[in-house]
Amino acid sequence: MGPDRHDPSGSAPPATNLPRRERLRLVLECDGAACVWCRRPIETDLVRATTEHVVPRIKGGPSWLENEVAACARCNRERGHRTPADWIDECQRRGWQPDVDAVVRALRSLQAAIAERGGQRRARPYVATQLRRLDRR
């Protein structure tokens, strides 16, 4: 792995500055119009849709589209800062069928984006650990 190419002057990756609604639309297109955790449909007005960071911001996750999945506001709130694998365990305890494939897909695409753009030295090992845990399922 080469030197850390993080550039604080910020050559912003594409999609970072899209408005919230547009980001949500793109994420829904990719994941389907359901919460990745509880699978409730979220295109209706009844369930408030949001995008959520697979690697939480507080754990060093970048605000890139690759780090976002579609979630309902309830799951977004209740997950807190738990790791995807821990929260998936909790979802399954609750009898839900979380979309593990979508989460793995997001983690892989984030891993590829990090490899391409560099930096993210906190998110890197986090992503690797989560992929190891989720791949064992």
Give me the residues that bind Zn ion (CB under 5 A), please.
35, 37-38, 72, 75
Task: Return the number of the residue (38 or 55) whose C-beta is nearest Zn ion.
Answer: 38
Task: Return the number of the residue (55 or 69) whose C-beta is nearest Zn ion.
Answer: 69
CB of 45 to Zn ion, least distance (A): 16
Asked if 95 and 48 count as a contact pair (C-beta separation under 8 A), the reply is no
Task: Return the number of the residue (37 or 126) whose C-beta is nearest Zn ion.
Answer: 37
Question: Cα-Cα-Cα-Cα dihedral of 41, 47, 53, 58, to 10°?
Answer: -150
Give kind and range of the element (H or E) at residue 69: strand 68-72
Give dist(CA 110, CA 114) in Å, integer. 6
CB of 9 to Zn ion, least distance (A): 38
> E-assigned strands of the chain?
49-53, 68-72
CB of 124 to Zn ion, least distance (A): 27
Give dist(CA 24, CA 96) in Å, integer. 23
Task: Return the number of the residue (35 or 54) whose C-beta is nearest Zn ion.
Answer: 35
CB of 39 to Zn ion, least distance (A): 7
**Closest to 12 (Cα-Cα) out of 117, 109, 127:** 117
